[in-house]
Amino acid sequence: MNPFIREHLMQGKRRQRYEELAEIGTGAYGIVYKARDVESGRIVALKKVRVQTGEDGMPMSTIRELAMLKHLEKCEHPNIVQLLDVCHGMRTNLETRLTLVFEHVDQDLATYLEKCPSPGLGPDRIQDLMFQLLKGVDFLHSNRIIHRDLKPQNILITGDGCVKLADFGLARVYAFQMALTSVVVTLWYRGPEVLLQGIYATPVDIWSAGCIFAELYNRRPLFQGHSDIDQLHKIFDVIGLPTESEWPDSVSVPWNAFRLSAPKPLDKVIPEICDQAKSLLEKMLHFDQRMRITAHEALEHEYFKER
């Protein structure tokens, strides 16, 4: 038997190890609880999800996904939320209930920005937050993990200002849970290739990080669409409509469905941005994902030279 299954999925009694203290959030991925590890006294976050069960039990793809994330825990990267434990709950022919145990962090970036007094974050703080965020993204990408859903709500900020990425690498685990909920998932940080239902890879996270970069300056989302098409219109209003030759093949929407528009200067859209930050952001928000800067390259950008 797979040792991960044996150790982490076949011991339902381990759920008793965690004492729930309070509900701290509800989203498309399930309910999150603040809890105490009764053995160590450590405060943790519990995320309860339902995973689709097949004829042979839990799909191997799901098991591999969880095992990979548990393996990453050993790296103890400072900008990654650790998955500490996986507890097996009730199982039927249709689903298995899991409790994912994460390290607990008090607030997310959305809350952090809401609490930030006027006139907003200083340039040094924005630079530090982005450097940490990109360090976390670079670590994921170097381990062949695409986050897929970077947004302020799953970027956590500790009391001493450390950025930690959460909810990564769990696409298969969360897919069934999300199908059972009616929670609206935000489109505001999705790359054009996702909105067009095209092929995507690690650059999709760079687009999302770029959207967040802009939000650190403006304290509001850069692109606030109400549907996939509206989101694309909002994007092209800023970066300009790409040429027809740049339009990807085999996507759901044709190029001529959008009005011609020229790119707007980013310093007009984000008045407080400095030249180096603008240079980096332009490289992150490139329509062609093949031309987008990588996380590793971004960390070497001149914007971070004087940090």
Angstrom CA distances, 296 to 143, 163, 226, 245, stand at: 13, 17, 32, 28
Q: Strand 155-157: give its sheet, edge to edge.
A: 107-108, 155-157, 163-165
Kindly give the interhelix angle for 60-73 and 171-179, rounded to the nearest 10 degrees: 120
Q: Report d(CA 271, CA 82) in Å as an integer.
A: 36
Rounded-to-integer distance, Cα 66 and Cα 80, Å: 15
Eight-class DSSP state of 272: T
Q: Three-state SS for 70?
A: helix
Active-site positions read: 149
Residues 6+ apart with CB under 8 A from 211: 188, 189, 221, 222, 223, 285
Residues with Cβ < 8 Å from 95, sequence gap 6 or more? Answer: 50, 51, 52, 53, 176
Tokens of 29: 């991925």
Cα-Cα-Cα-Cα torsion 81, 87, 90, 93, nearest 10 degrees, comes to: 80
The phi, psi pair for 151, rounded to 5°, reads -160, 165
